[in-house]
Amino acid sequence: MKKLILSVTALAACSVGAYAQGVVYFDSSSAAAGTVSINGVLNTTTDINAELLTSTSANGTYSPVAMLLLSSSNQSPDGTPGFDPSDIVAGANDIKFNHSGHLTDQSGSFFVLNAAAGATEFFEVAGWTGNGVNSYPGSGAGTYGITGPFTVVLGSSLSPIATGLNNMPTLNLVTVAVPVPSTLAMAGVGLASMLFLRRKTK
């Protein structure tokens, strides 16, 4: 009888382990985690948009896991594996909450990955400013940036604990300006002058 109980217990434990999905919190509030800066200055007052991306290797293709969006009011991710619209949650107070420069997801929810609990996954965090700017700019005018890769050991969907972004490096958002029309015009005049002089010397 004891052997039967032990066997059933072991089988149940194996089943739990086999079906436990890996989870992560979009939170870098640990003192060990990197902070958010804007143009090299620690940001403690400006909430930002942020996207959490994951890959199975440091140099692999990164896919979205979750997004903190200033224009969103959602506080309830659906808890299913993979990224979908419910994983876009409110970004309000993601910086202002603790005024330390660390990102904090105010929904307090975990996000489920297509990976097993206990797996080590690679992550990056992209950030940008602007309420209503609903995707990472990546180029052109704006204030934005992305971290380098870092690792997280995933928690379990069956007994989620605070598996945050403790290894996240500093996220520095840099302002990229678009040249004003007068600057472009002057550049055009300069180029035309150079071409004229080249023709003249031939």
Encode the chain in three state secondary structure: CHHHHHHHHHHHHHHHHHHCEEEEECECCCCCCCCEEECCEECCCCCCEEEEEEECCCCCCCEEEEEEECCCCCCCCCCCCCCCHHHEEECCCCCCCCCCCCCECCCCCEEEEEEECCCEEEEEEEEECCCCCCCCCCCCCEEEEECCCEEEECEECCCCCCCCCCCCCCEEEEEECCCCHHHHHHHHHHHHHHHHHHHHHC
Question: What pLDDT shows up at residue 202?
Answer: 56
Compute the C-alpha angle 59/155/17, nearest 5°: 110
Residues in the chain with pLDDT values less than 70: 1-19, 162, 179-202
Phi and psi at residue 182, to the nearest 5°: -65, -35
Question: What pLDDT shows up at residue 178?
Answer: 78
Question: What pLDDT shows up at residue 201?
Answer: 55
